[in-house]
Amino acid sequence: MNYLGKIRAQSSAEAIYRRRSSPQKTQKSKKIIVAGGAGFLGSHLCETLLQAGHQVVCLDNFSTGLRRNIAHLERFDTFKVIAHDIVQPFDLKVDEIYNLACPASPPHYQLDPIHTTKTCVLGSLNLLELASRTGARILQASTSEVYGDPNVHPQIESYWGNVNPFGPRSCYDEGKRCAETLFFDFHKKLQVEVKVVRIFNTYGPRMRPDDGRVVSNFIVQALTGQDITIYGDGSQTRSFCFVDDLVEGFLRMMASPPSLTGPVNLGNPGEFTIGELAEQVIGMTGSRSKIIHHPLPTDDPRQRRPDISLATQELGWRPHVDLAQGLVQTIDHFGRLLARPTRELAEAM
């Protein structure tokens, strides 16, 4: 039996992953920008907004976003793709803006740390000025990385974090922290309606094979028979949120009252060691991969788990897809991707 057969055999009726249902069309169609709309998260958000009856403008410079992520959306006459880097100003009359533009995996954002910082800071500034000019509501996809290697566990929004300001991750960590400052200052000084969410580790279909984060790394290594690479002893922890749950959190935050500016944590509070994740991926794929250990990278957090009390109280939001359920769909995604001819696979990298 191949690995997909094994996975599906392991999945009982109650363990089948939940697919995102098509939301009912809203009474009023909005014109919405999704910056970073061709990326992993952005493409899922674009899809959901289109299903809800909105007009969606996808802005992406395609540094890490992929055309194939949004190819199926181009049949909608309410969907438009504009190749644009938000480091440069942009002008368009819209009702809402989601700022998801910025590489989120360490290998990608560390390739050009200066541009990563520019994307976080100048890109946020340009989109905030657009929101100010047009009266649009704007959501910032911030990150749990603002907590750094936390001394508080689980992490609550009032925690200021423990971030290295000049380490290899700081272009992203400090860039996102500065972006949050800009958002709240635009709200205080110019009354821009802002929403800030802090995203914890998210996974699911449309992740790139070379994404570089732990879920995609382990799955690709297991499916291709490579050794599973764990950095450190594997006792460090992460919390993994399935993409459908995260997108629902985005929508609820954007629709919340103006007084709720955030920051609000969005993530799954289920906590796993990296070693546990590796064993689960090996078991679900039926892989014979061995686990090997390498030194822990600089500033890699020891613990990461969100306190989602605020999201539950103010948004009525909590994740529904557990790790085993979400991994079924994610493994299926990578299995289909890796089965493609070499040329097609190269285009997905």
Paired residues of 141 in beta bridges: 197
Which of 4-8, 9-13, 65-69, 285-289 is least confident?
9-13
Mean pLDDT for the chain? Answer: 91
Residue 334 near residue 223, CB atoms below 8 Å: yes
Q: How confident is the model at residue 341 (pLDDT cuts 50, 70, 90)?
A: low
Cα 249 from Cα 224, distance rounded (Å): 34
Domain range summary for the chain, segments of one domain joined by +: 3-17+25-347
Residue written as token pair 């989601």: 98
Q: How confident is the model at residue 296 (pLDDT cuts 50, 70, 90)?
A: confident
> Which one has a higher pLDDT value, 134 or 299?
134
Residue 349 has pLDDT above 60, yes or no: no
Distance, CA of 59 to chain centre: 16
Q: What percent of the chain stands above pLDDT 70?
A: 90
Cα 66 from Cα 68, distance rounded (Å): 5
Residue 231, both tokens: 């950095």
Q: What percent of the chain stands above pLDDT 90?
A: 86
Q: Cis omega (within 30 of 0) on the bond before 301?
A: no
pLDDT, tens digit (0-9, with 9 covering 90-100), for 222-233: 999 999 999 999
pLDDT, tens digit (0-9, with 9 covering 90-100), for 149-197: 999 999 999 999 999 999 999 999 999 999 999 999 999 999 999 999 9
Taking the chain, what is the end-to-end CA distance rounded to the nearest angstrom? 28
Q: What is the mean pLDDT of residues 319-333?
A: 97
pLDDT, tens digit (0-9, with 9 covering 90-100), for 219-267: 999 999 999 999 999 999 999 999 999 999 999 999 999 999 999 999 9
Q: How confident is the model at residue 44 (pLDDT cuts 50, 70, 90)?
A: very high
Residue 39 near residue 61, CB atoms below 8 Å: no
pLDDT, tens digit (0-9, with 9 covering 90-100), for 101-133: 999 988 999 999 999 999 999 999 999 999 999
pLDDT in the model for residue 22: 40
pLDDT in the model for residue 165: 95
Q: What is the mean pLDDT of residues 310-324?
A: 98
pLDDT in the model for residue 29: 95
Residue 136, both tokens: 């649009």
Catalytic residue selected from 98, 172, 203, 231: 172
pLDDT, tens digit (0-9, with 9 covering 90-100), for 15-36: 333 334 444 454 689 999 999 9
Q: What is the mean pLDDT of residues 306-313?
A: 98
pLDDT in the model for residue 105: 87
Establish whether 231 is a catalytic residue. no
pLDDT in the model for residue 346: 56
Q: What superfamily in CATH does domain 3-17+25-347 come from?
A: NAD(P)-binding Rossmann-like Domain (3.40.50.720)
Cα 60 from Cα 65, distance rounded (Å): 7
